[in-house]
Every structure is written in structure tokens, then in C-alpha cells.
Structure 1
Amino acid sequence: MTEKHPGRLRSLIAALMYRAQAFTVVGYLGVASFIGVETLIVLLGFTTVLPIAIPFVLIALGLVYLFRQRLRGLWARLRSGEAE
């Protein structure tokens, strides 16, 4: 079976890898700008203590960074509801 476009699968996989790496970089930058570089360094320093939790913590912090505007609005509504 001959392939009509040799290397097309390899190109698609490479494009997927580049996008995944770009998403990872954006996530780390988002987390670093949200919690600060020093805190990120301390957080990554805990990889010897509980290495399996670090990606999940970074993903959660990245999602908080991406949805921070909505979280601010939610927080403001909660605070105004408590004041009434």
C-alpha cells in the first residue's frame, strides 16, 4: 500500500506537538504571571515531594488564570450578596 502524500502523517503529528508545546508554554506563563515567578519556582521545587500533583496544580492555576475575569465577577457578586 503506497501513500499518496508521503510524510503527511508525520507533518500532522509534528503540528500537533507544536500546538501542545505552545499551549504548555502559555499555561506556564499564565501561571507565572498569576502567582509570580518566585512562587512558581517554589511550586516546581516540590516535585521531589509530590511530583504527580504538580501538573494538576499547574493546570488548575492555568484555568484560574484563563477565567480570572469571570472569577472576579463571581467574587464581586458574592461579596455584594453578603453585604445586603
Structure 2
Amino acid sequence: MVLIVGYYNHKNQHAKGEKALGAHWGDYPQSRGVLSPCVIPASTRSAILSGLLHQAVLSKKQVQIMRITEALAFFNT
């Protein structure tokens, strides 16, 4: 599974899009044959990122700690 941090513009409803966490795995999910990450709601996003950060800290995985911290900063700016 891959988590994606970025802007999501559902049906071009926003000029820039909204900050979002998306997930996909392998070649799923797709819409009309195009990879379409599943957008995770903000409340769930916070829980997922917090849990992943906790796990990375316990495992002392510096690269993961850095990447998750960057994702959290993206959503807090």
C-alpha cells in the first residue's frame, strides 16, 4: 500500500484542490482504467499518520520519521 500526500480536486470543484491523503495498492483502485487513489477523510488521516509516526519512532526508522513529519507539516500549514 502507498500513501500519497497532495492536493485533490474532486470533479474540478476547486481552483487548487484540497489537501488530502490518498491510498492505493498495486493497480487498485481505478476509475475508467485510470489509477484513482482512495481519499482518506481528515479524521482518519490524522489517526493513520499519528500511528505510523509512533511506529516509526519506536522502530527508530529515521527516514520514515522524516517523511511522516513532512506529511503532518503539509496538513498543518
Q: Same fold, TM exceeding 0.5?
A: no
Q: Look at both structures and tell me which one has the larger radius of gyration over its CA atoms.
A: 1
Structure with the larger RCO, 1 or 2 (CA within 8 Å, 6+ apart): 1
In terms of fraction of residues, the more strand-rich structure is 2
In terms of fraction of residues, the more helix-rich structure is 1
TM-score (norm 2): 0.31
